[in-house]
Structures are given as structure tokens and as C-alpha cells.
Amino acid sequence: MRKRGGYDGHGLRSGRAWAGLSALLLLGGCGLSGDETEGSETNARSPADRGFAVSYEQPSAADLDGASFLRGRKLMEEASETLDAFVGVGHQVRVVGRSCGGEGSSYDPEARRIEICYEEVAEERELFQGAGRHPADDEVVAVLVETVFHEAGHALIDALDLSYTDRGEEDAADQFAALMLLRKGVSGERQLRVAAEEYGLSAAEDEKVEGEAADGDEAADGDEDEHAPDRLRAANHLCYLYGSAPGRNSDVAGSTLLRRARAAGCGKEWALVRGVWMKNLAPLLRGR
């Protein structure tokens, strides 16, 4: 099962609905170590060397289509330009497309490097096509843009030297991704909906696999990491979506992923999430 959006592998096994809000009130840092073949960036840089810089590694044979899709859609370039217009990081953060060998997209603070995996194009396409969405190109773009913003959240937590628990940092990175998408207006709202749908589909697939393992008298996958469960990550994204623009997104309140009782408080929840991130970002902000 594909697991995305972290700083040291990816997973989904524990959490509560309001954990991310309390986590945001902490001040924090970020951590990951990944397979790194290039040296860390230095602090002495010209303005041209600052910000989010996109590059692509040679894909494996299995990932040629995924690499071509990423290059053709230029989603990493567009996301990086959006980030640079919003914040000034003060150093270069590399955004690298690569074959990850199943490790999942991630952020490495030592190298200041975001890695977006070519193979996730095929994985996301398969997930959405299994739900009847063909050819699912826009869905793939939406999920991977959200992934870039999630990993950028880790990079900014690192740059700001904020301090979170592992789970708190993952929640905060999800919230930053929502912030960046909702800043785009209606188009970003659509992409946030798709990202939430992806988490819901992924959760359903995991639950099916675990159920089959239990029926077969086999141990289900017990791997755990710092992420909230995918079903909760879906609910959180839908809550922020509804809280930011309830008139345009009234259909998500009372859905299978966002209970009406929680939806009633999503306006205040989103205001708190947005407010804390904007306060933390204040030293780096270029535009609001």
C-alpha cells in the first residue's frame, strides 16, 4: 500500500481529531533521514540560490511514464513558484523528482531536499481508476500538489526551527498543505477535495487488506509511524475546506468522512489552524 506525506517513511495507524490543533500550539523542528547522494546545502548563498528549486533525476525503467507526467504537467514548478511568492525561506530547498524504490515522498532536513516519487503517479492513477475515475490525470495532479505542499510544510518547520512531536509535525504539515491549497481559491478547494478523497480511498483499501488478513487468520500489517490514520487526514482536510468556505462546500458536512457534529466547529477550527500557521510564518512572509 502506498503511503505518502512524511519525513521518514509513511504510515497511518493512530490519532484523534483535535490532536493537530494542540500540536500547532507548540514551537518546533523537523526530522528525516533519507537516501542522500548529494551534499548538504551551505548557508552562504546569493539570492538566486534561495527558495524552492526544482530538478529531476533519471527515472528507473518502470517510472518513465511517471517522470514524463511530472515533467509535462510542471506541477512541482508551479507549486514551487507559489511557495516562493508566499514565503522567503532564506536558503535553497531542492524539490527533486526521482524514483524512490517504494520509500515514498519525503523531506530531508540535512540536505534541505524534498523528494517527490515518480512511482506515485501510477499508484494514484490506479487508486482513482479503481474508484471509476478515468483517466484520473487531474486527480493525480491534485494529490501530488498537496504532497509537495505537505513536504514544504516540513521544510518550513525546519527553517523556522519549530518544535513538534513527530505526530504534531505531521498534522502541522497537513495543515500547511491545506493552507496553500485554500489560498488558491476555488481551484485549490477542488484539489483539497481530491486529496481528502484520496485519503478516504486509501483508508478503505487498507481496511479491506486488514480485514482479509484477519479472515485468513494472518497478522495484519502492524507497522506504525507518526501520521494520523488516512481516514482522519481525510476528515481534517474536509473540515478545513468546509470551515474556510461553507457556502461553496456545504455538501461535505455530514458526509461519511466529516460528521455533522464536527463540521459545526470547522469554521473556528480552520481559523485557529490558519492563524497559528500565519503567526509562525510571519518572519518569512512575502504576501498574505
Write the pLDDT tens digit of every residue in 236-253.
Answer: 999 999 999 999 999 999
Place of cell 512572509: 285
Give the pLDDT of residue 226.
75
- What was the pLDDT predicted at 2? 38
* Secondary structure (3-state) at 212: helix
Binning pLDDT at 50, 70 and 90, where does residue 7 land? Answer: low
Looking up cell 458526509 gives: 255
In a domain, 49, yes or no: yes
Using CA atoms, how far residue 245 sits from 16, 234, 248, 252, 280, in Å, is 24, 17, 6, 11, 23
Phi, psi of 99, deg, nearest 5: -80, 120
Distance CA 111, CA 199 (A): 28
Residue numbers of the domain that contains 254: 19-281
Angle at Cα 211 formed by Cα 210 and Cα 213, nearest 5°? 65
Strand-pair category, 113-117 with 106-108: antiparallel
Q: Is residue 1 part of a domain?
A: no
- What tens digit of pLDDT does each residue of 74-123 get? 999 999 999 999 999 999 999 999 999 999 999 999 999 999 999 999 99
What would the pLDDT profile of 14-42 be if each residue is shown by its tens digit? Answer: 233 334 454 444 443 333 333 333 433 33
CA gap 54, 146 in Å, rounded: 16
User: pLDDT tens, 164-213?
Assistant: 988 999 999 999 999 999 999 999 999 999 999 999 999 999 887 776 55
Contact 12, 141 (CB under 8 A): no
Grid cell digits, residue 205? 483499501
Residue 286 in any domain: the answer is no
Q: What is the mean pLDDT of the chain?
A: 85
| Cell 551551505 sits on residue | 42
Question: What pLDDT was estimated at residue 49?
Answer: 75
Residue 195: inside a domain: yes
Nearest-CA neighbor of 241 among 230, 225, 257? 257
- Count of beta carbons in the 10 Å neighbourhood of residue 86: 18
Give the span between the Cα atoms of 8 and 84, in whole angstroms: 25
Report if residue 288 sits inside a domain.
Answer: no
- The answer to whether residue 168 is domain-embedded is yes
Percent of the chain with pLDDT over 90: 73
Give how many domains the chain has, as a whole number.
1
Instruction: Give me the mean pLDDT over the 252-281 stretch.
Output: 97
Q: Which residues, 6+ apart, have CB-to-CB distance to 195 below 8 Å?
A: 142, 143, 146, 177, 181, 237
Q: Does some domain include residue 82?
A: yes
Residue 10 within a domain: no
Q: Answer whether residue 71 shows pLDDT above 70.
A: yes
Q: What is the pLDDT of residue 210?
A: 72
B/e letters for 189-212, b = 16+ CB within 10 Å, e = fewer, are bebbbbbbbbbbbbbebbeeeeee
Nearest to 84, CA basis, from 149, 35, 142: 149
What's the pLDDT score for residue 119? 98
pLDDT, residue 16, reads: 33
pLDDT of amino acid 12: 29
Average pLDDT over residues 138-142: 98
- What confidence score (pLDDT) does residue 208 get? 75
